[in-house]
Amino acid sequence: MAKKLVRFDWAMKKMLRHKANFDILEGFLSELLEEEIKIKQILDSESNKETEDDKYNRVDILVENSKSELVIIEVQNSKEYDYFHRMLFGAAKAITEHIKEGQAYAEVKKVISITIAYFDLGQGKDYVYHGTTIFRGIHKNDILTLADKQIQLYKKSSVHEIFPEFWVIKVGKFGNRVKDKLDEWIYFFKNAEIKADFSAKGLKEASERLDEMKLNEKDAKEYKRYLKGLRDIASEQHTKMADAQDLIKKGEDNKEVETILKLHKKGMTNQTIAELLDIPIEKVNQAVIGHVY
């Protein structure tokens, strides 16, 4: 039986910001980006300061890798319809916060934004999405590329390497069927456990250091509070959804009553109205009796 580990988002808040645990994040990034990633430092900015509203709803971390690229990793626990806009804002803010006044535009840092979503973001069948910027000719259908001098100056091979890129991992869409090493990481995100035969980079270290049973008393209590906060968010969302459905149902019922009364005013019998609207006669009788003209 796989041992239970702390959730990845809580680990990001409390454990993965320490240099001794960089190898866990490096493992995940290496498997996702399919290249060897080394973290130079964890950065702080206005964009990832925690607010009371975000205390349980989201966790993010801003990393600078050995290539001086900025990597935003964000875990989002509840639905936000404008979340795509939030991703764009976060990437833009990271760029502007990490270029000094007077520096040339060539000093703009590459940003990689990674979202681990515990809600169904957007509409799609897959559970991992990758977005990059490509300029395509509207007449020749060709891809705009960098000139030789630009490649030499900026050490980039294509235009999309300059612009921010975005990854979205929709945890809820993952069916626990592990096909590759990235899936092993997503299985961990979804289930807070790592199977003994998993071999993705960073997971062995995560299994050893994120063991829930190894938390000290203070962290264990804090982790329980964090899990309760997530449950409270889920319960609040469920209540709001149930209330919304009640309002919709009430609106539909009121509309049906209005239709019944309009037809009744036109002289139709209750039986005819029931047959016309395909509803029980009792419902028509109740609507008519309950209304005072």
Q: Which long-range contacts (CB under 8 A, 24 or more apart) does 284-292 make?
A: 284/260, 287/256, 287/257, 287/260, 287/261, 288/260, 288/261, 288/264, 291/257, 291/261
- Per-residue model confidence (pLDDT) at position 49: 47
The amino acid at 59: V
Q: Among 120-129, 229-238, 272-281, which range has the highest average pLDDT?
A: 120-129
- Per-residue model confidence (pLDDT) at position 270: 87
pLDDT digits (tens, 9 = 90+) for 262-281: 888 888 888 888 888 888 88
pLDDT digits (tens, 9 = 90+) for 142-200: 999 999 999 999 999 999 999 999 999 999 999 999 999 999 999 999 999 999 999 99
Read off φ and ψ for residue 71, nearest 5 degrees.
-120, 120
**How many C-beta atoms surround the C-beta of residue 273 within 10 A?**
23
Higher pLDDT, 247 or 57: 57
Length of the chain: 293
**How many C-beta atoms surround the C-beta of residue 198 within 10 A?**
19
pLDDT digits (tens, 9 = 90+) for 73-114: 999 988 888 999 999 999 999 999 999 888 999 999 999 999
- Per-residue model confidence (pLDDT) at position 240: 66
